Structure 1
Amino acid sequence: MTTVATSPVLCAHPRASLDEQDRKQASVDRSGYVPPTFADGVIFAQDIDDVVLAMQLAHKHGATIVPRGAGTGLAAGASAEAGQIVLDLSRMDKILEIDPVEATAVVQPGVLNAAVNQAAGEHGLFYAPDPASTAICSIGGNIATNAGGMWCAKYGVTRESVLSLLVVLPDGQLLRTGRRTIKGVAGYDMNALMIGSEGTLGIVVEALLRLRPKPKHTSTLVAYFPDEDTAAKAASAVIAERLTPSVLELMCGKTLKAIDAALGTDHGSRGGALLLAQTDGYGAQLEMQALQDAIAPLAGHIEIARDQEQAEALIEARRQAIPSMELLGTASICDIGVPRNRLAEAFA
């Protein structure tokens, strides 16, 4: 491995920086993990040509490249140390095209998730994957980790909302995966393979995203339970009734206390766990009534949001769960996946 002083990759790349502060900032993410050393240098890509050149040089000289987006990941995927070079894509942050008829958007990897939704919203559309960090996370990072979010209960994770990718392979070659149409059944699904690969197979430099019509109606419910086990049983009851809420989120008692302390709310005084549900579409109210009926035997208190402002406040409280916990100290975050009808068992 080449060193900082003699790295041909850094010396030959016009966007490279050896500045200690740049290297330090590029070597850590929001996971809280701090590597023992920092990357040899960082390349700030401005366009596709920069990424191609970086990968060609790295391939030629056997250098290790660590791709980085907004650095909001919680699993240390963007951390780097000595012997590695960070390739920062955050400056490739343009929305290149929105097609309101086909309901698609072409974006660069550094564009923020919230920015895509804001732009799509002007056409009555939305981008479904919405991680809690939507305001600060980038689409490239979402694709790399196959991010989900609250709406994945109904609309799926990132893989279900990306139609095509332009990827720079490890040797600098360009590969386009997927298709521009909703239906595409021919050949190997290289698109799905790239999504969730965390930059190990190639680096995404452009993405064609699938947008969806904004629901005409939504209904939002918050229910409080004595403990997490009961709330989990209520969530399973929703699934057992064959309902498909767009949002179904459970927060435990400790999380509620952290949110209350940070936001000045009083969720923790109403129960030891909370279930947040939202339905959408023309039948939103009817589906919400069925959902309410399913969980009522288990809930201590149920409240339907009276207006959009209250609904958004409840959604925002969920988005602030991790930041609220981080205010209390170091938070160790991980995800698990279990069959929905065994959620209560997993909690127990």
Structure 2
Amino acid sequence: MPDLDELKSIVGEDFLLTDPDRMESYRLDWSKGAGAGMPLAVARPGTVTEVQGVVRWASEHRIAIVPRGAGSGLSGGSLAVDGAITLSLDRMRSVSIDPATRVAVVEPGALNAEVKRAAREHQLHYPPDPSSYEICSIGGNLATNAGGLCCVKYGVTTDYVLGLDVVLADGTLVRLGGQTIKDVAGLSLLKLFVGSEGTLGIIVGATLRLIPAPAPAATLVASFPTVQAAANAVVSLGSRLRPSLVEFMDNYAINAVEDFREMGLDRSAGALLVVQCDSPGDARAAEMLVVEQICTTAGASEVFSTTDPDEGEMFLAARRAALPALERKGSMLLEDVGVPVPRLPALLDRIGAISAEHGLPIPVVAHAGDGNTHPNVIYDPAQPGALERAERAFAEVMQAAIELGGTITGEHGVGRLKKSALADQLGPEVTALTRRIKSALDPDGLLNPGAIL
């Protein structure tokens, strides 16, 4: 057992947790993945220098490090590892806005919502919009290349990263990029660390691109008799428009939300689409007319639209409530597979067949406009064989996405829960290349061991 006194001197006695009861809340993420270990300690540094000190100490003693943000991850990427240091960045929360260059300079513990609020004070906007934006950290968003509801128009986290400060496995601090919008000097190392889930380095700062605040969105809600009808509408939308948001909920998810919090959704609908357009001026109204026409042609049984921001936010609140609502229906394995938009109907067909075959509900909510779906396998852990059936269904959903030319994860990351399927998607050559990059940057394998590979 290494002496922890030196580690205490680095971060301060109050910010090195070793008592199992105090460390308990740092063991799991939102996936509640089985197999989480008990860390040797939880270090909560408050500065970049302290992060470097912890990493150097761990490197010297050959002790693994699990970086952690707000713990809102859904793929087990920050689950604690036995005998490792959990490095929590939750104290590093500063946010600074430079309106002249339209950038935010942030520390990793800052919440997505805090960055949005700070930008809004300067009539600016930070677009990446995970459903958990109120509780997820920018560091976690960067680690998983998080997406969200507005990705269909505005893109994902990596599209807004201009610079990163990263502590490498030996404690070296590297600064990549900066405030320049266009910069092609050298290899694109900046993008290498976004989405690396703490396996290549620890992100301790970021320079994020901001955009002018968009016009208020108009919102359309369409009820469909079947999942397929809604999916066909999404495909048609993608070929004609670029809405700022296209969200999907199937019947099970609709009813789960209504059971959780009555919001006036149509319980009889086979599926629901929530679509927003935020183009300025008359273009917004013209786009909404096209959306309504597409939904009606696809078979929508009811279409409602509004330009009232508060009314629109009510429908988005229903969509954001889907995950906590579904969690009340039983234990759950969380998916986020994606396919090219034209193959969305085929993916939903496959998920329905997998659900029927295994006798388990697999409700789907989706950022449908970019083909990123969240099929969630619900099971009763007290029922004999239910977990095994759920795990088979989980694996088959990932395989279906791969066979349709898609991905096992659109925004949650691979973490520890999906790594068994990663090689099937990447193939042997890319898997080997990934291992070589990991070995080059972390030769002792100390950074987030067990995640991704």
- Please, what TM-score do these two structures have when normalized by structure 1? 0.95
RMSD over aligned CA atoms reads 1.5
- Aligned CA distance change for structure 1 residues 169 and 230 (closer, same or farther; 3 Å): same
Look up the equivalent residue of 2:323 and give its one-letter code.
I
Q: Deviations over 1:114-161 (max 9, x none)?
A: 011111111111111110000000000000000000011111110001
**Letter of the aligned partner of 2:232 in structure 1?**
K
Output the CA distance in 1 between the equivalents of 2:225 and 2:273.
11
- SS, match of residue 188 in structure 1: coil
Q: Say if 2:343 is the partner of 1:342.
A: yes
* Cα distance, 1:140–1:38 mapped onto 2, change above 3 Å: same
SS in 1 for 2:297: coil
Partner of 1:297: 297
1:306 and 1:185 map into 2 onto residues whose CA distance is 41
- Counterpart amino acid of 1:345? A
Q: 2:207 corresponds to which residue?
A: 208
d(CA) in 1 for partners of 2:144, 2:266: 32
Q: Is contact 1:178-1:189 (8 Å) kept?
A: no
Contact conserved, 1:129 with 1:149, CA < 8 A, in 2?
yes
Q: 2:93: which partner in 1?
A: 93
Contact 1:27 1:35 in 2 (8 A): no
Quickly say closer, same or farther: Cα 1:7–1:82, change in 2 above 3 A: farther
* Distance across 1 between alignment mates of 2:191 and 2:37: 34
SS in structure 2 opposite 1:51?
Answer: helix
Distance (Å, rounded) in 1 between the aligned partners of 2:56 and 2:6: 9
CA distance in 2, matches of 1:203, 1:121: 28
Q: 1:260 aligns with which of 254, 258, 261?
A: 258
How far apart in 2 are the matches of 1:67 and 1:110? 11
Question: How far is 1:61 from its partner?
Answer: 1.2
Would you say 1:183 and 2:185 are equivalent positions? no
Q: Which is worse superposed, 199-208 or 212-221?
A: 212-221
Per-residue CA shift, 1:19-66, capped at 9, x if unaligned? 112222111111122435311111011111110001111111111000
* CA distance 1:42–1:174, shift in 2 (3 Å): same
For structure 2, the 5+ residue unaligned runs are 350-453
Q: SS state of the match for residue 332, structure 2? A: coil
1:295 Cα deviation after fit:
2.0
Choose 74-83 or 126-135, whichever is displaced more.
74-83
1:25 corresponds in structure 2 to 25
> Is 2:53 the counterpart of 1:53?
yes
The letter of the residue matching 2:58 is A
Contact in 1 for aligned 2:45/2:51 (Cα 8 Å) = yes
Matched, 1:194 2:207: no
1:292–1:68: structure 2 CA closer, same or farther, 3 Å change rule? same
- 2:390 paired residue number: none
Q: CA deviation at 1:270?
A: 4.8
How much does 1:12 deviate? 5.5
Tell me how far 1:186 sits from its aligned partner.
2.4
Q: 173-182 or 251-260: which moved more? A: 173-182
Q: Which moved more, 1:70-79 or 1:210-219?
A: 210-219
Aligned residues: 343
Equivalences for 1:308-323 in 2 at 5 Å? 308-323=309-324
Counterpart check, 1:40 vs 2:23: no
Question: Hey, what's the Cα distance between the residues in 2 that align with 1:336 and 1:268?
Answer: 26
| Structure with greater proportional helix content | 2
Name the counterpart of 1:326: 327
Q: Is the 8 A contact 1:91 1:110 kept in 2?
A: yes
Contact kept? 1:65, 1:87, Cα under 8 Å: yes
2:331 aligns to what SS in structure 1? coil
Residue pair 2:223, 2:266 contacting (<8 A) in 1 also: no
Cα 1:305–1:169 change in 2 (3 A) is same
Compute the TM-score of the two structures, normalised by the length of structure 2.
0.73
Cα-to-partner distance string for 1:266-294 (whole Å, 9 max, x where unaligned): 32435110111111121222112122222
> Retained in 2: the 8 A contact 1:164–1:177?
yes
The separation in 2 between residues aligned to 1:310 and 1:134, in whole angstroms, is 20
Give secondary structure in 1 for the equivalent of 2:333: coil
Change (3 A) 1:9 1:74: farther
2:74 is aligned with what amino acid? L
Aligned AA (1:337): G
| Other-structure match for 2:273 | 275
For residues 161 and 312 of structure 2, the distance between their equivalents in structure 1, rounded to whole angstroms, comes to 28
8 A Cα contact 2:37 2:79, kept in partner: no
Give the corresponding residue for 2:370.
Answer: none
Deviation at 1:197, TM superposition (A): 0.1
Contact 1:270-1:301 at 8 Å conserved across structures: no
Q: Deviations over 1:153-208 (max 9, x none)?
A: 11111000111001111101011112312222222111111000001111111110
**Partner AA of 1:84 in structure 2:** A
SS for the counterpart of 1:297 is helix
Separation (CA, whole Å) in 2 of partners of 1:216 and 1:141: 28
Distance in 1 between residues matched to 2:244 and 2:216, nearest whole Å = 12
Post-superposition offset of 1:6 = 4.2
Structure 1 unaligned regions, length at least 5: none
Letter aligned with residue 336 of structure 2? D
With 116-125 and 324-333 compared, the bigger mean Cα shift is at 324-333
Contact 2:247 2:275 in 1 (8 A): yes
